[in-house]
Structure 1
Amino acid sequence: MKFQLKNVTRKFGQHLAVDGVNVEIDKGEMVGVIGRSGAGKSTLLRMINRLVDPSSGSIHFGDVEVSALKGAGLRNWQRDCAMIFQQFNLVPRLDVLTNVLLGRLNHRPTALSILNVFSREERIMAIAALERLGIEQTALQPAGTLSGGQQQRVAIARALMQGPKVVLADEPIASLDPLNAKIVMDALRDINEREGITVVTNLHTLDTARNYCSRIIGMAQGRVVFDGTPDKLTAETVQEIYGADSHGAGIDETMTSTSIRIPGAAAAVGVPASPGFRTLAVAEA
């Protein structure tokens, strides 16, 4: 099933955050959405998940008009369309395992959720999700004691517990160091490739979008100004998306890079190789 956004617009008062977006996303794609802060990227994802309603236009997933859903239908959609946030949105005082189990809330009766009663099968699923992300040893720690990279992996494990058809990630690596950014992006790509789940992620780093996403959507002032494969993202297109500085110069892509460069280091030490993220290796300066 594919996404279809038809002339989707969102206004906040007089401010036009998203302006007449028309996009189709096929099942199983991994799409990166890039653009300056304020370009409308986060608002676009929040409208797909229905955390924000469109001011006009419509959003469809297969035969379902997502933008018209209410009540149980809307809750089911937000279960099927998992959202991962930049700030993790975990409950810091609860242990990691319970935070992951919260991903099952829309799959179970309300009474069981209120009583925090989870089945043995659900607990096994949660541990398996944590093992998949390499953080099973943190299961009984309060989520607030983990590093940012670990917390984001907990958030991904929680999203997996929803059994989603789509994963939306809103700046999932913006607050992470390059190595943790790589781990998180590797996890999202693994979900996309292994389960065939559609992944749409907002990104600030152009090298990440180029290396992980089969398709890139560029936004500027609420509109889509680029939609294509990474090889079509030229310097001229990048300047259209990000604009120029006060001297008229275009953006230097190294300013948005997540590459780790240590002067004098000739080889990576303790950084696992990843052909899908070529720039995230320690290189000789």
Structure 2
Amino acid sequence: MLEINGVTRRFGKTVAVNSVNLQIAEGEMVGVIGRSGAGKSTLLRMINRLVDTSEGAITFNDVVVTGLKGTALRRWNRDCAMIFQQFNLVPRLDVLTNVLLGRLNHRSTVKNLLGIYSREERIRSIAALERLDIAHTALQPAGTLSGGQQQRVAIARALMQEPKVILADEPIASLDPLNAKVVMDSLADINRREGITVITNLHTLDTARHYCSRIIGMAKGEVVFDGPPIALTANAVRKIYGADATGETVREDITSTAIKTPPPPVAARGLEPVLAG
């Protein structure tokens, strides 16, 4: 159980996250949605301890995460893998080495400095790449891959950590719809097959509805919705995203990344095209 109790984060006079209380059970697939600046990324970074809390506590299986230091903190960074929007790979290193970096907190400092990896670790890395259908890129520099491929490498690296929780911070924000689907399918498969808790920040309502069994909506640093996709009504969406310039609730299709089939040309529907002048 991951518990977030009264967590607040201030940056100067700005309150990025305000008194958030959540309980997330093992094996849940959770989508966190909201507008830019709602506090989604700050919340995930506090869970991973990339950002410290100003108030409140985060615990995991009765371990107070917010109080960890030294070796215990590195162990938590290993158990709580982070996937970023911009991949955070080392572009000049080959894909296989980038994936092997997921073992850093499992190994001695000497082995890490010398870059010595066991045969078993290499086999596991290749297996992770095969699972994500990118084993053929193993010897390519990571910087030569497409965005979708790089994000799958980042997921493979996270798997190598043997995490108990995966945090994905806008993992599909910079991807086209096809690659976004591949990445989300991969995260859902990991959640389903390994039972790993996955918490992912998303801008897209349709993606959250399709992949997540639970959706948390944030606005101005606060949780304003917490429930299953079916409970995400128009009123709930309005609380999360507010209204547009006309006062209307934000349309869900505006946030969509779904792959849509374009309509047939006008002439193909038996109508003559209208020609100008």
Q: Same fold (TM over 0.5)?
A: yes
C-alpha separation between the residues in 2 aligned to 1:11 and 1:166? 25
C-alpha separation between the residues in 2 aligned to 1:70 and 1:259? 42
What pairs with 1:84-103 in structure 2 (closer than 5 Å)? 84-103=83-102
Ranges in structure 1 where 5+ consecutive residues have no aligned partner: 267-285
1:264–1:248 Cα change, 3 Å: closer
1:136 aligns with 2:135: yes
Which stretch of the first structure deviates more once superposed, 74-83 or 242-251?
242-251
What letter matches 2:179 in structure 1? N
Tell me the equivalent position of 2:195. 196
1:265–1:61 Cα change, 3 Å: farther
Tell me the equivalent position of 2:244. 245
Identity %: 73
How far 1:260 moved relative to its partner? Answer: 1.9
Q: For each residue in 1:105-164, what CA deviation from the matched residue of structure 2 results, as whole angstroms up to 9, or x when unmatched?
A: 000001110111100000000000000000000000000000000000000000000000
How far 1:261 moved relative to its partner? Answer: 2.2
With the length of structure 2 as denominator, give the TM-score of the two structures.
0.95
C-alpha separation between the residues in 2 aligned to 1:247 and 1:264? 28
Q: For each residue in 1:50-107, what CA deviation from the matched residue of structure 2 results, as whole angstroms up to 9, or x when unmatched?
A: 0000000000001100000000000000000000000000000000000000000000
Larger Rg: 2
C-alpha separation between the residues in 2 aligned to 1:264 and 1:226? 35
What pairs with 1:96-135 in structure 2 (closer than 5 Å)? 96-135=95-134
What pairs with 1:26-41 in structure 2 (closer than 5 Å)? 26-41=25-40
Moved over 4 A (4+): none
C-alpha separation between the residues in 2 aligned to 1:167 and 1:144? 23
Equivalent position SS for 1:39 = coil
C-alpha separation between the residues in 2 aligned to 1:206 and 1:247? 21
Q: For each residue in 1:163-202, what CA deviation from the matched residue of structure 2 results, as whole angstroms up to 9, or x when unmatched?
A: 0000000000000000100000000000000000000000
What letter matches 1:182 in structure 2? K
Tell me the equivalent position of 1:49. 48
Equivalent position SS for 1:6 = strand
Equivalent position SS for 2:75 = helix
1:9 aligns with 2:8: yes
Tell me the equivalent position of 1:279. none
C-alpha separation between the residues in 1 aligned to 2:2 and 2:159? 20
Equivalent position SS for 2:262 = coil
How far 1:264 moved relative to its partner? Answer: 3.6
C-alpha separation between the residues in 1 aligned to 2:227 and 2:234? 14
How far 1:265 moved relative to its partner? Answer: 5.9
With the length of structure 1 as denominator, give the TM-score of the two structures.
0.92
C-alpha separation between the residues in 2 aligned to 1:11 and 1:207? 31
Equivalent position SS for 1:38 = coil
